[in-house]
Amino acid sequence: MAMRHSVVLDSRRCRGCTSCIKGCPTEAIRVRGRKATILPDRCIDCGQCIRICPHKAIKSVGDQLDILSQFQYCVALPEPALYGQFHNLDNIDIVLNALLKIGFHKVFEVAKAAEMISDYERQCICSGPPDVTPQISSSCPTVLRLIRMRFPKLLPHVACTILPMELAAILARREAVAETGLPPEQIGVFAIVPCSSKVTAARVSEGLQEPVLDGAFAIRDIYLRLLSPMKHLEHIEPMTSSGIMGLGWASCGGESSARLRERCVAVDGVSNVIRMLEEIEDGRLPEADFLELSACTQGCVGGCFAVENPYAAKMRIKSLMKGQPVSRNRFTLEGAEREIVRRDKELQYLPAFVLDQDLGAALNKQLRIQELESHLPGLHCGSCGAPSCHAFAEDVVLGRATVDDCIFKVRERMRSMAGKEEADDYLPPPFRRQQHETSRR
């Protein structure tokens, strides 16, 4: 199935400045015709480019709230990171009650599903060690795509559970059907999410054959709509069913601490995650039982849809934990029903970086890439639109660019046409043998 990314470019705002190309952890962006373009096979929806873009030209779009009108009955699934966005919030119920004022009929907290998943995982831990260690958390869709693309050897390490928002969606729809008697398709189930990758995951699930959500709204879009109803609630109905563990899932380390007895490593930030996956791939962390990996700084509170900075949001969620029970939800389903928490499809390797399916052809391409790269300046200036000289060499060999797209190669040719070996004028400043009067001024 074609990937449907939620990261998109606003081409009116993009000036082709190349800021984004270097920040992309999978080298998925090229600048062409003064505009950034995303190579869809390589994008993992991490949102780095959204954070980096100085012109706010790269965005991620959640669904629009007006799709609620297409359903008879709508359930909101707020991710716990939402609770960390509000100043002086001392009661989660205020947020949940306010959600009922903006078009939702019911709320099912993702933190509740997260606690159920944690309980399920604890039951699995008690029933014996897993086939492979360390187990890797399956809760960040960006990390899942990254592993599928760059670390296929680690796929068997990925935990079998679906995303908390997916479990929440399945359970919320069941409850809504039971309560309203409506057919399941007339019930709309929508997550309120902190990041672009969860918007994508709501459309195309990593672990489920059929998506279980009807859409996902960005926290940022819901935030402003909630402020006014939160101030004007006449009555606050007690609704929350999340404990400390469920709320903890909002930031990196929360999922780990809910596993209790294991030796867990919690890593946040996409470049740290990549480094850790490389170490695990080499078997250099044999003592770890579980790896919690979040692509965003500090975990979900650092998502690109968050309003508040991740550190402040984390602090607020911590203070909301005060006085709450450790966990309020258990995973009590039995028999075949237990399967709903597990993926129903395998995580497949996505060979987005492989030069050619045929080894002989791949070797030939690699040879040409190395040859070309040895003649490139190694400045990684980005003028060609690629993030590095190596990426540019790859682009040329794979037919995505031509050698003359390198401004240094062009100048080199001009210099040889001028016939002057020492004609420094054709070289950009970093390569001039002598510093010119002009450049010193």
Interface ranges with other proteins (CB under 8 A): 150, 152-153, 278, 281-284, 351, 353-357, 359-360, 362-364, 366-367, 370
The residue among 19 and 26 lying less far from other proteins, judged by its C-beta, is 26
Q: Which residues are CB-contacts of 149 (< 8 A; sequence separation ≥ 6)?
A: 26, 42, 44, 350, 351, 352, 353
Rounded least distance, CB 256 to other proteins, Å: 24
For residues 150 and 259, which CB has a smaller minimum distance to other proteins in the complex? Answer: 150
Minimum CB separation of residue 398 from other proteins in Å reads 11
3-state secondary structure (DSSP) of residue 346: coil
Distance of alpha carbon 306 from alpha carbon 319, whole angstroms:
18
Minimum distance from residue 173 beta carbon to other proteins (Å): 38
Distances (CA, A) of 69 to 155, 179, 187: 40, 19, 11
How near is the Cβ of 201 to other proteins at its closest, in Å?
A: 25
The distance of closest approach from Cβ of residue 274 to other proteins in the complex, given in angstroms and rounded to an integer, is 11
Q: How far out from the chain centre does Cα 131 lie?
A: 27
Report, in Å, the least distance between residue 281 CB and other proteins: 8
Amino acid at 209: Q
Nearer to other proteins (CB atom), residue 36 or residue 401? 401
Q: How far is the CB of 143 from other proteins (least distance, A)?
A: 18
State both tokens at 116: 């159920």
CB of 406 to other proteins, least distance (A): 21
- Of 98 and 372, the one with the shorter C-beta distance to other proteins is 372
How far apart CA 342 and CA 161 sit, in angstroms, is 4
Minimum CB distance to other proteins, residue 417 (Å):
33
The nearer residue to other proteins, 238 or 351, going by C-beta atoms, is: 351
Q: Which of 249, 81, 84, 92 is nearest to 161 (CA)?
A: 249
Amino acid residing at 270: V
Q: Which is nearer to other proteins, 219 or 401 (CB)?
A: 401
Handedness of CA 258, 264, 266, 271 (dihedral sign): negative
Output the smallest distance, CB 294 to other proteins, in A.
Answer: 22
Q: Which of residues 353 and 431 has its CB atom nearest to other proteins in the complex?
A: 353
- E-only strand ranges, 2-50: 7-9, 29-32, 35-38
Measured between its terminal Cα atoms, the distance across the chain in Å is: 57
Q: 191: part of which helix (H) or strand (E)?
A: strand 187-193
Q: What are φ and ψ of residue 191, in 5° steps?
A: -85, 150
Cβ nearer to other proteins, comparing 357 with 438: 357
Cβ(161)–Cβ(184) below 8 Å: no
For the chain, helix, strand, coil in percent to 5 are: 45, 10, 45
**Core vs surface per residue 253-289: b (16+ CB within 10 A) or e:** bbbbbbbeebebbbbbbbeebbebbeebeeeeeeebb
Sequence-distant (≥ 6) Cβ neighbours of residue 195 within 8 angstroms: 45, 47, 60, 142, 295, 296, 300, 303, 304, 305
Beta-sheet pairing, 187-193 with 290-294: unpaired
- Shorter beta-carbon distance to other proteins: residue 300 or 391: 391
Query: Nearer to other proteins by C-beta: 122 or 150?
Result: 150
Q: Least distance to other proteins from the beta carbon of 271, Å?
A: 14
Choice between 33 and 283, CB closer to other proteins: 283
